[in-house]
Structure 1
Amino acid sequence: MSQPLYPRRPQRRAKKSRRLLLLALAAVFLVSTAVTIFVAYHAHHSIIKNALGLRNIQVDHVLLQTGSPFYTYEDSGKNIIASPGIDVSTFQGEIDWQAVKESGAEFAIIRAAYRGYETGRLVPDDTFEKNIQGAADAGLQVGVYLYSQALNEAEAEEEADYLLDLIRDYPVGYPVVYDQEEYSAGQTRTDGLSGEQATLNAFAFCRRIYKAGYLPMIYVNTDWAHNMYDMEKLDHYPVWYADYTASPSLPGGFAMWQYTDEGRISGIEGPVDLNLLFLPAE
């Protein structure tokens, strides 16, 4: 019996091999595309490099200990431990910083300046120099904040430059914070500010601070986190979150938590804000 000139079995094998090759190439392309998208997303959304190792975390409420005067928090599984601290301004009056240190505070975020609600003038806090020097001399780590009334990015950058000039001779190793929030006690120059513009302002301020070699941070409360700021556009900066409930939660996480504005500690007459800063455990 004569044999066919072109056997069918090898032809089927060739077609099968080509299909497998095309599938393999398609798989390589999909994996490569996924990796590229992940790297691009990670580069945009990962938190900026910082000497403190801060990152925005989700707090495990089970690990939160609500002691007095300071809360404590430690997550050995994620290598996180919280450092207790305060934030102050002229409203706290005369402060005995050594007593504050002995009460258990490890850091202080000090108001350095603010922009006038109506005039728009940038003004240093009356007690800034005394507070930052006193806190540093007592052995606390110090950071600063500026209360903003910026209408646009140019004003936010002006605020950053003003703040940088104020702190250049002080040992500021902790966050330099942008604080813009609603003032409900009366009319202000920022009434009607859009969430989009507020986000651009915060970004402009932080970019300026980071370029100068400091660690920028953005202060947000629940209202601004959900109704004003586009948090996804700001999520590569550490967030200082004000939430006075027992179970603070923010979709993108936070690096510092202000858990009360009615704290009581030695060295300060009257109420003071208390905070936890989430640091890598050594």
Structure 2
Amino acid sequence: MTLNFKKLAGLFMGALAAFTICTTVSASKTKIADVSQYQGNINWKKAAKDLKYAIIRVQHGDTGDADFRIDSKRNVNANGAKKYGIPFGQYGYAEFSSVADAKKEARDFYKRSNAGARFYVLDNEHRKGSGSEQSYVNAWLSQMRKLTNKPLVYYSYDNYVAVHKINYSKFDGSWIANYSKKPTASADLWQYTSKGRVSGISGNVDLSKALKPSVVNSWFKAASADVAKPTYFTSLPSSKKVTTTRNIYEYRDVNFKKRVTKLTAGKKLTVKKIARSTNGAYRFQLTNGNYITANKAYISD
């Protein structure tokens, strides 16, 4: 059976229109934005048309800082990004006053972050303590390495890095801001404007460009909550003491079938031995006979 010319032309034009719409939508998802409560209520369905990636704020400073605040939109934004398939990382604006404060801020930032975050960012642009800023950065990094296997990224602006001579080579990547030109500091991701526009977001928004796309893409690549396979404690800490870094559950059995109670983040526990479930996962047995996970993403020694 043959088609007449008008029908053939109509089919061709329809296919061309569909192809054009498809490629336009695909091409538009190129922007990388960082967002916080200051962007208000984001329409993530619309934002998903523009955004390739998002970086979402969790907190500004920590308890004890005069201007401390937990970002009121951190969970709303994380859930919106997840719902519309936008891979995201999360960042915390640091206000370190000491090495101990830097470690605490790392623990609290991790505890408040979303499990769906692909990576974590240290936003280091506020000099507060009288000690070495490098020592604070190192302390934050060291503490976060104990809590997660996900990539850890250093953020600051060009001049801050130069003035304080920050060495961030041990991080998994760098994100540097400079709105006049490309940063002189080594950068994988360049925050190039604070006056960008994104569909679904009212007002201005920070936008960034990948200077090293393969590196930046690697931060976002994980399809699940964990970037790497879980790493477990396989032996008892010498102190036989552990601390929960996230909310977890205590179970009566090693296979986690009989839940007993919820344990909040920051809970200190005494453990008496290492056990393994039938599928090989490591568990800590507590002195009361119950079991908790030995996953280092949830427990620290």
**Unaligned 5+ runs, structure 2:** 1-27, 219-301
What CA distance in whole angstroms lies between the structure 2 residues aligned with 1:117 and 1:224? 24
State the alpha-carbon separation in 2 of the partners of residues 144 and 229 from structure 1.
25
Question: Whole-Å Cα distance in 2 between the matches of residues 176 and 91 of structure 1?
Answer: 20
Hey, what's the Cα distance between the residues in 2 that align with 1:217 and 1:149? 17
Q: State how far apart, in whole Å, the 2-side matches of 1:118 and 1:153 are.
A: 15
Distance 1:267 1:140 in 2: 14
Partner of 1:155: 101
Aligned equivalents of 1:144, 1:247: Cα separation in 2: 23
2:60 is matched by which residue type in structure 1?
A: Y
Give the C-alpha shift of residue 180 in structure 1: 2.4
Deviation (angstroms), 1:254? 1.2
Q: CA deviation at 1:204?
A: 1.3
> 1:131 is paired with a residue of what secondary structure?
helix
Q: Distance in 2 between matches of 1:155 and 1:221?
A: 22
For the 8 Å contact 2:65–2:95, the answer to whether it is kept is: no
Conserved in 1, the CA contact under 8 Å of 2:182 and 2:192?
Answer: no
TM-score (norm 1): 0.60
Matching of residue 256 in structure 1 with residue 182 in structure 2: no
Q: How does 1:185-196 map to 2 (within 5 A)?
A: 190=128, 193=129
Matched, 1:228 2:179: no
Say which one has the larger Rg: 1
Corresponding residue for residue 269 of structure 1: 202
Equivalent of 2:65 in 103, 108, 119: 119
Whole-Å Cα distance in 2 between the matches of residues 274 and 134 of structure 1? 18
Whichever residue aligns with residue 161 of structure 1, its letter is R
Aligned-partner residue type, residue 172 of structure 1: A
Partner SS for 2:48: helix
Q: Confirm whether residue 133 of structure 1 aligns to residue 79 of structure 2.
A: yes
Whole-angstrom CA distance in 1 between matches of 2:78 and 2:72 = 12
Identity, in percent, stands at 25
Shift of 1:121: 7.5
Task: Give the superposition deviation at 1:117.
Answer: 9.7
Aligned to 2:34: 87
- Structure 2: which amino acid aligns with 1:214? K
**Pairwise CA distance, 1:153:** 1.5
Number of aligned residues: 187
- Structure ranking higher on relative contact order (CA contacts 8 Å, 6+ apart): 1
Q: 1:264 to 1:121 in 2, by over 3 A?
A: closer
Equivalent residue for 1:171? 116
Change (3 A) 1:121 1:153: farther
1:216 alignment partner AA: L
Structure 1 residue 262 displacement after superposition: 0.6
- The structural deviation recorded for 1:123 is 3.5
Question: In structure 2, what is the Cα distance between the partners aligned to 1:170 and 1:128?
Answer: 12
1:148–1:180 CA contact under 8 A, matched in 2 = yes
CA distance in 1, matches of 2:165, 2:121: 15
CA contact (8 A) 1:209 1:215 kept: no
Distance 1:155 1:179, change over 3 A: same
Q: Take 2:107 and 2:176, find their aligned partners in 1: how far apart are those partners?
A: 24
2:116 and 2:64 mapped to 1: Cα distance? 32
1:257: how far off?
0.9
Whether the 8 Å CA contact 2:55–2:88 is kept in 1: the answer is yes
Q: What secondary structure, in the 3-state scheme, does the structure 1 residue paired with 2:59 have?
A: strand
- Counterpart code for 1:93: G
Which of these residues, 80, 89, 111, is aligned with residue 143 of structure 1? 89
> Would the aligned equivalents of 2:62 and 2:105 in 1 still touch at CA under 8 Å?
no
> C-alpha deviations, 1:119-143, integer Å up to 9, x for none?
3585321111101111111111111
Separation (CA, whole Å) in 2 of partners of 1:117 and 1:222: 28
TM-score where L is the length of structure 2: 0.56
Check 1:207–1:119 CA distance in 2 against 1; reply closer, same or farther (3 A cut).
Answer: closer
Q: 1:123 to 1:99 in 2, by over 3 A?
A: same
The more displaced of 271-280 and 140-149 is 271-280
